């Protein structure tokens, strides 16, 4: 695959970090000579592994290339702190590169401009802003968690052309075709955590894992279950990976049975006797969840919408009519047209016989 610019290639490398780098950001790096020849490429590895800049430096070294005076294109500011790995800015300084072009300043407080400052102090030219919007989209969950203290919430649903997600009796398999379902699993793959409600667990007994696309890891699975009604024999507890239930009231017997199945239970009680969704999101952020992918029923979907917690709607629309049935999200009723949730389309893409719509609230991204 060819790329228009080195930064475009760095962005493509960053996307290889989906399902790999959590909770760290997905970063790509390309190193070029003065005449534009690419001599090193890399992307951030799993948490605790090398970052994109180090991988690109290693790549150049393995090819016998000198990086002294070279230009480094990186999709996020090189880190400036000792975490699980040494600072990337120090590695670039030691390598003697001449210029660093980065898309975005890292919002993480221990970096937040310090990497760029240290590079400049070492006499390295630093340029900021190349392909900033595209780089932010790749790491929109990371930015949300660091800046807002909550994950980026993506609500996914498959609907008929008349807006139904299920028949009145709850039957919903399958509204869309295999291509759309596979595409949906690709979106599951990029998420840090997948969330559903206990109603969906009881009605559909889903696994809620990534199966239709290859993945190096399974996202955390989260169940909103105010009264701990999830049966210990549920399939969601059989699939590989961790399961976390949020409850509004303690029940030692039910909690013990779920823990016996390997699940973790956390309390997030709200004043209504149900799970406090904002408190749950804050806790998930503390656990390192960047992107939260919601696949729930109309009631829980309605609660997320009503509380203004949905950042993005991922909707698959099938060319079919279902008549009476369950809606996408149960909220309202509204008394004024002005109270509608205004959305803007980000993309509308054919997927097999269906359409994939990506839409966000009309207000600008809040960070």
Q: Is 307 a catalytic residue?
A: no
Distance, CA of 237 to CA of 162 (rounded, Å):
34
- Sign for the CA dihedral angle at 234, 236, 239, 212 comes to positive
CB-neighbour burial class of residue 337 (10 A; exposed 0-12, middle 13-18, buried 19+): exposed
From the list 18, 76, 19, the residue with the least C-alpha distance to 51 is: 76
Identify the active-site residue in 9, 22, 53, 295.
Answer: 53
The b/e string for 300-329 (b: 16+ C-beta within 10 A; e otherwise) is bbbbbbeeebbbbbbbbbbeeebeebbbbb
Question: How would you class 165 by CB atoms within 10 Å of its CB: exposed for 0-12, middle for 13-18, buried for 19 or more?
Answer: buried
Cβ of 273: how many Cβ atoms within 10 Å? 10
Residue 361, number of CB atoms within 10 A of its CB: 17
Q: How far is the C-alpha of 297 from the C-alpha of 303, rounded, in Å?
A: 10
For residues 137-152, one letter each, b for 16 or more C-beta atoms within 10 angstroms of the residue's C-beta and e for the rest, the string is ebbbbbbbbbeeebbb
Which residues neighbour 364 within 8 Å (Cβ) at sequence distance 6 or greater? Answer: none
Residues with catalytic annotation?
Answer: 53
């Amino acid at each position: 695959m060819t790329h228009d610019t080195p930064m475009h290639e760095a962005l493509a490398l960053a996307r290889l970090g989906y399902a790999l780098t959590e909770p760290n950001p997905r970063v790509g790096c390309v190193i070029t000579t003065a005449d534009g020849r690419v001599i090193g490429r890399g992307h951030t590895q799993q948490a605790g592994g090398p970052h994109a800049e180090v991988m690109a430096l290693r790549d150049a070294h393995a090819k016998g290339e000198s990086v002294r005076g070279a230009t480094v294109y990186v999709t996020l500011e090189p880190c400036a702190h000792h975490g699980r790995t040494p600072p990337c800015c120090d590695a670039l300084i030691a390598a003697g590169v001449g210029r660093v072009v980065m898309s975005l300043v890292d919002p993480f407080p221990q970096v937040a401009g310090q990497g760029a400052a240290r590079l400049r102090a070492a006499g390295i030219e630093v340029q900021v802003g190349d392909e900033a919007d595209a780089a932010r989209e790749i790491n929109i969950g990371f930015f949300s968690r660091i800046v807002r203290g909550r994950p980026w919430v993506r609500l996914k649903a498959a609907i008929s052309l008349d807006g139904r997600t299920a028949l009145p009796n709850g039957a919903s398999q399958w509204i869309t075709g295999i291509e759309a379902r596979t595409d949906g699993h690709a979106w599951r793959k990029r998420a840090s955590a997948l969330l559903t409600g206990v109603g969906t667990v009881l009605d559909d007994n889903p696994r809620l894992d990534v199966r239709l696309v290859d993945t190096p890891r399974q996202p955390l699975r989260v169940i909103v279950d105010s009264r701990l009604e999830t049966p210990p024999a549920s399939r969601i507890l059989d699939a590989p990976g961790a399961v976390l239930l949020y409850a509004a009231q303690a029940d030692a017997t039910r909690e013990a049975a779920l823990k016996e199945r390997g699940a973790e239970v956390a309390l997030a009680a709200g004043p209504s006797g149900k799970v406090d969704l904002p408190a749950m999101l804050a806790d998930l952020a503390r656990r390192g969840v960047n992107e939260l992918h919601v696949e729930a029923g109309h009631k829980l979907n309605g609660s997320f919408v009503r509380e203004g917690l949905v950042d993005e709607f991922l909707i698959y629309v099938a060319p079919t009519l279902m008549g009476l049935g369950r809606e996408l999200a149960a909220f309202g009723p509204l008394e004024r047209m002005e109270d509608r949730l205004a959305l803007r389309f980000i993309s509308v893409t054919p997927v097999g016989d269906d359409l994939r719509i990506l839409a966000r609230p009309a207000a600008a991204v809040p960070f």
